[in-house]
Each structure stands twice: as C-alpha cells, then as structure tokens.
Amino acid sequence: MAAPSWSSCCASTSTRPLLSPPSISKSRKLWWTSSGSGGKTRQLSIRAVAAPAAVDYADTGAGDVPSLKIKLLSAVSGLNRGLAASQEDLERADTAARQLEAAAPAPVDLAKDLDKLQGRWRLVYSSAFSSRTLGGSRPGPPTGRLLPITLGQVFQRIDVVSEDFDNIVELELGAPWPLPPIEATATLAHKFEITGTASIKINFDKTTVKTKGNLSQLPLLEVPRLPDNLRPPTSNTGSGEFEVTYLDDDTRVTRGDRGELRVFVIS
C-alpha cells in the first residue's frame, strides 16, 4: 500500500514522515510509511502544546522574592537617596516595597531574626528625604543655596550585643571661595531596644563629627546630648521608633513612626 501524498514529488517508500492534506484529515494526523515493515502505513497521533503564559511578577508570592527585591531597588535607583524623588517616585517605591513585604515567607520576628540586624547597612532610599531636609519629616538643616550641604553616603551601624545603633552621615559643607568645601562624617550614636515583634526604639546619646580630607588632622568633635531640663520642650531629641517590615541577609525595609519608608542594603 502506497503512502498518501500531496504531489508526486512527495511520494516515497523510504522512512520519511508525511503529513496528510487538510482536505483528507482535519485532525492533522501523522502517517508513517516504512519499507522495512512491508510497506505498511501506520498512523501516529500528535498534540499541539500551548506556549507558556507570561509571568506577572506583581501577582507572584514568596517564591519570587528575589525578583521583587530587584524591582524595589530599581524603583529607588537614581533618586539620590530620595532627595530627588517626585510624588510619582514616592508612590512607585511604596508599591514595590509593599509587594516585597507581602511576598516575604513569614513576618519579621526580631526574637528569631535579631542576628540579621547585625552589621553596617547602607541607606539606598528614604521617602523622608523628599522633604528636601536632612531631618526628613522631622526638623533638619535644608539642602540648597541657603545652606549648601551635599549629602554623601548614609549608613546604620548596628551591634546587637552592645545594643549600639549609630547613624553615620557623610557630608560636604560649602565654604566661601576660594576655600575648598569641608568634608566631614557625623555619627549620631543611639541605644536601641526591641519594643515589639518587629518594632525597634532608638534613644539618642551623642553626636560626633570627624573632618576628612585637608582637615582630617583636626580632633574629633563631640556634641553631647543636652540634659532634659535644659532642652526646649519642642526640641528634637533624635529618638524615634520604627518597624522592620522586611529583613533578610542583605536587604532591610523599615517604616518609621511618621510614615517614612527606608530601604537599606548590607555594606
């Protein structure tokens, strides 16, 4: 029995697969003719497989945490730690952070995850800096022409054994021409305590300032905390409370007591 063919050029008794024409079979059957089996024609069935659907990472769960971390870091990149953030940027970062928080395998529990706080963390974004002051949503020195301060890197150094919690800020202070700008590192020393499952309270201790560059030989300047009875009632004590909403070995997301969203990476 000869194999069915569409034209004489396709007829063959060799081991070659032939497709039956649509007019003969609408099920798209595959026919196989082999000279080695006495010229018998056998019918094989085939099935079409649909292409996999595109993945929507916004709807994925805990298995996609790495992608959501990249999405958050991409959303805050290029914003100069938040100083250049527009309202649209703030909303985009907040949405990305909430997706990562929701995708975490389990809520943060500092009773179990305290060791993950240990180390030196670099601030990559703070929604509070969009206020254009270094104090964020609290009073602080403005950035701009009135007081030319350039904000450098910002770190948090946390020691879970001694309960030290230091905010380290690199600054560049403008000086009258022809003097070069003054480079300095300010360290705001705090003590911290765990006040809830994922909540931390920090209490300000003192500020130290160390000059860099041409003035690096100057001694360390220490600005102690004023006694409570000498401080004005409305002064900012530097104390505060925040919640750790996401934490792993290299990324930390916190939300402050005034709604500030902050993103850190291990340094």
Q: What is the mean pLDDT of residues 20-35?
A: 46
Q: What is the mean pLDDT of residues 206-228?
A: 74
State which amino acid sits at residue 144: G
Give the per-residue pLDDT at 164: 97
Q: What is the mean pLDDT of residues 220-227?
A: 64
Determine the Cα–Cα distance for residues 82 and 133; give it in Å rounded to an integer. Answer: 11
Question: What's the gap between Cα 32 and its chain centre?
Answer: 56
Indicate if the pLDDT at residue 53 is higher than 90.
no
As a whole number, the mean pLDDT across the chain is: 76
Strands of 51-198, DSSP E: 119-126, 149-159, 164-173, 182-194
| Tokens representing residue 131 in the block | 């206020």
Distance linking the first and last C-alpha atoms of the chain: 76
Listing DSSP states for 174-208 in one string gives --STTSPPEEEEEEEEEEEEE-SSSEEEEEEEEEE
Helix (H) or strand (E) holding 266: strand 261-266
Cβ-contact 235, 89 below 8 angstroms: no
**DSSP count for the chain of H helices, then E strands:** 3, 12
Dihedral angle at the C-alpha atoms of 48, 49, 54, 58, nearest 10 degrees? 130
Give the per-residue pLDDT at 65: 95
Give the per-residue pLDDT at 40: 53
Indicate if the pLDDT at residue 202 is higher than 50.
yes
DSSP-assigned letter for residue 114: G
Indicate if the pLDDT at residue 25 is higher than 50.
no
Question: pLDDT-derived band of residue 55, with 50, 70 and 90 as boundaries?
Answer: very low
HEC string of 39-56 equals: CCEEEECCCCCCCCCCCC
Q: Most confidently modeled of 20-34, 60-74, 123-137, 177-191?
A: 177-191
Q: Most confidently modeled of 40-44, 88-92, 144-148?
A: 88-92
Indicate if the pLDDT at residue 132 is higher than 60.
no
Greatest Cα-to-Cα distance within the chain, rounded to the nearest angstrom:
109
Closest CA to 128 of 257, 267, 265: 257
